[in-house]
Amino acid sequence: MASSKAARMGEEVWKTRTEKINLEVLTLTYGTLVSQLTHDLRDPATNIPDYAAINTELDRMGHSIGLRLIEDFLAKTSSAGPAPCNNFRETAEMIAKVGFKIFLNVTPRVENWDKEGRSFGLVFEEMPVSEFVELPDDGRAQEELWFLNLFCGVVKGALEMVQMQVKAEWVSDVLRGDDTTEMRVTLIRYIEDEMPPDDE
Amino acid sequence: MSVYSFYIFDRHTECIYSKRFTAANNTQSSRGSTLQNGDVPASLRKASKDLDETKLIFGTIFSLRRMAKQLGGADDQFLSYRTGEYKLHYFETPTQLKFVMLTDPRVGNMRTVLHQIWATLFVEYVVKSPLAPAEHTGGKGVANELFEGGLERFMVSMGLLPR
């Protein structure tokens, strides 16, 4: 019920209120970004790309994007009925069916809930920015680099702005030879309202 | 219809934008029985420092929204309150940006207006500006010409400010 409503909303916002760009431009830009990072962030001693640092950097960039993107997301969706999510399950539906839909035109499946309902997986059937991508064949990128790590940062940053602190990380990626591409999102806590500082 | 002042607070309880529209239509001053000496109510004019005033306003809306939630349930929100001299309109986004507008007490519901200021002006010009910081900490606030200009034009087009 709620899930089909989210799907409809995503469809509508994507059709009517989203500016589109050529997908290949986005794909190649993102690929270039990651590729540049593999040049910039190298272990000075061995001159091998420091994949852990690249993951961190992508995450940080994504976080900054998410902090702003959420505002655009809310502005685009709110006149179509901005009911705040009542629970984490609704949040998951909104991220998958509206968030990813209007910004990337993909709709990941929400799966693999844990028992407490605090953690879910987003399974991507298709990932446009992974097109044309081959990870470096140095024997380490396959194990260490999360090519799509920017998106974890985006999810984290966006949810932080709506009072949810989450952990987001990739658990599998077809680029690494896995069967699926899955992001795991875990709710850590709801952020309390900040109080104004005391005057006296 | 006239607007006295406009404020934006961010989620860190910081005032990131404030503007006073003091010069607004002096012609009206004779009509409002409680208003003398121009358009701004004495209570507002007396607040000598902007800083004190924004703190006061934040304190007020902070308490009021909490009270509204306690009495009316978690989904309840307070929209406005009115005194003999002014009316305070309030709009909060899910990201806890708080938009506050002080107007003439006769003005009707301004929620849609505040929503539009957020969706079409703040998001477009401030949030999407690559030069604007993501967080406006340290009291620097939003200093953005496009936003200022857009806000002014919007208010005029809504008939809230004289042309």
For chain A, domain boundaries: 2-190
pLDDT confidence bin for A170, thresholds 50/70/90: very high
Does B149 reside within a domain?
yes
Mean pLDDT, chain B, rounded, equals: 78
Does B7 reside within a domain?
yes
A71: chain B residues, CB-CB within 8 Å: 93, 95, 97, 122-123, 127
Of B11, B96, B128, the CB nearest to A72: B128
With 0-12 CB in 10 A as exposed, 13-18 as middle and 19+ as buried, what is B116?
middle
Cα separation values, A70 from A34, A67, B5, B116, B131, Å? 23, 6, 27, 17, 18
Does B11 reside within a domain?
yes
Longest Cα–Cα distance in chain B: 47
Look up the domain containing B77 and give its range: 3-157
pLDDT of residue A109: 92
Does B125 reside within a domain?
yes
pLDDT confidence bin for B90, thresholds 50/70/90: very high
Count of structural domains, chain B: 1
pLDDT of residue A34: 92
pLDDT of residue B14: 83
Does B145 reside within a domain?
yes
Q: What is the CATH number of the domain that holds B41?
A: 3.30.450.70
CB contact under 8 A, B58 and A196: yes
CA distance B123 to B109: 22
Q: Has domain A2-190 been given CATH number 3.30.1380.20?
A: yes
Does B163 reside within a domain?
no
**Which value does ipTM take for this structure?**
0.79
A179 interfaces chain B, CB cutoff of 8 Å? no
Does B14 reside within a domain?
yes
Taking each helix axis as running N to C, give the angle between helix A51-78 and helix A23-40, from 0 to 180 degrees, rounded to the nearest 10: 150
pLDDT of residue B23: 53
Does B80 reside within a domain?
yes
CB contact under 8 A, A75 and B128: no
A74 interfaces chain B, CB cutoff of 8 Å? yes
pLDDT confidence bin for A83, thresholds 50/70/90: low
